[in-house]
């Protein structure tokens, strides 16, 4: 299957600093990528939909100025957590579908990034 | 927005016992997908169901889509320790995204 690579797999940062997470589709093009957040023992909650060449679409309650998303190419989307605080500590996961496929195809997930803000 | 319920939330079984998780939606679904997430890992696609009443099998796993396309189930026969993880059903939300159910966390005691 298609491969989505997410980096870093874990990061520890100080409160008030920013952290950038990268999501790459290695062997396919993805016009749309999705960013999820997962708190311990909870389900995945969609944060935003990242669209190549245009602004991201954020879910209700997600601060777009805090979670900056850039999708500059068909194979790369980045999520930057700005001015991170301990409550932002979570597991962040990106996913993508194959470009040009129907919307009911499977999603491929990155390995996830475990962010700890101290 | 679109929501899907999933039960049970947790299930502890002895190795060799069967396991079933159920997914329910208040609306008719075009399709439903199932994912498995191992502890510390990311979701991995298991299967997609599209047709009313569809039943698909993958070795010890049996997936079923309800006749009304509002519910689905995943049944594991004779669980093994490798089955440990959280099983999520997902449905298509508004736009192109997936909406995840709350998941069923399976523990298998050896």
- How close is the nearest chain B Cα to the Cα of A73, in Å? 19
Report the chain B residue with the minimal C-alpha distance to residue A43. B102
List, run by run, the mean pLDDT of 10-residue segments along chain B (110 residues): 88 98 94 94 93 97 97 98 97 79 96
What rounded mean pLDDT belongs to chain A? 90
Residues of B with CB under 8 A from a CB of A: 30-31, 33, 41-45, 48, 50, 88, 90, 92-93, 95-103, 105
Give the pLDDT confidence score for residue A101 in this predicted structure: 58
Checking if the pLDDT of A40 tops 70, the result is yes
Cα separation values, A31 from A27, A44, A101, B21, B50, Å: 13, 21, 11, 33, 24
Give the pLDDT confidence score for residue A114 in this predicted structure: 96
Checking if the pLDDT of A97 tops 70, the result is yes
User: Is B101 in contact with A106 (Cβ distance < 8 A)?
Assistant: no
Which residues is A7 bridged to in the sheet?
A22
pLDDT band at A28; cut points 50, 70, 90: confident
Report the chain B residue with the minimal C-alpha distance to residue A38. B42
User: Is B45 in contact with A108 (Cβ distance < 8 A)?
Assistant: yes
pLDDT band at A78; cut points 50, 70, 90: very high
Residue A68 · residue A80 · CB < 8 Å: yes
- Residue A61 CB contacts under 8 Å (≥ 6 apart), including other chains: none
Encoded tokens for A10:
């874990």
As a whole number of angstroms, the distance between CA A9 and CA A112 comes to: 6
């Amino acid at each position: 299957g298609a491969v989505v690579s997410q980096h870093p797999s874990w990061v520890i940062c100080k409160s008030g600093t920013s952290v950038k997470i990268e999501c790459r589709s290695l062997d396919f093009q993805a016009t749309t990528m999705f960013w999820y957040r997962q708190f311990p023992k909870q389900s995945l909650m969609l944060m935003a939909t990242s669209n190549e060449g245009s602004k991201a679409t954020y879910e209700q309650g997600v601060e777009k100025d805090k979670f900056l998303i850039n999708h500059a190419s068909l194979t790369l989307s980045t999520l930057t957590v700005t001015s991170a605080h301990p409550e932002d500590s979570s597991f962040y996961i990106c996913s993508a579908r194959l470009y040009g496929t129907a919307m009911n195809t499977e999603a491929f997930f990155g390995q996830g990034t475990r962010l700890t803000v101290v | 927005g679109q929501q899907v319920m999933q039960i049970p939330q947790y299930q502890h079984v002895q190795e060799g016992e069967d396991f079933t998780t159920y997914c329910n939606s208040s609306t008719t679904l075009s399709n439903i997908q199932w994912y498995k997430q191992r502890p510390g890992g990311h979701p991995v696609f298991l299967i997609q169901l599209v047709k009313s009443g569809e039943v698909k099998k993958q070795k010890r796993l049996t997936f079923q889509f309800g006749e009304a396309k509002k519910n689905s189930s995943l049944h594991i026969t004779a669980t093994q320790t490798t089955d440990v993880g959280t099983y999520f059903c997902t449905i298509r939300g508004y736009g192109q995204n997936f909406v995840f159910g709350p998941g069923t966390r399976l523990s298998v005691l050896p």
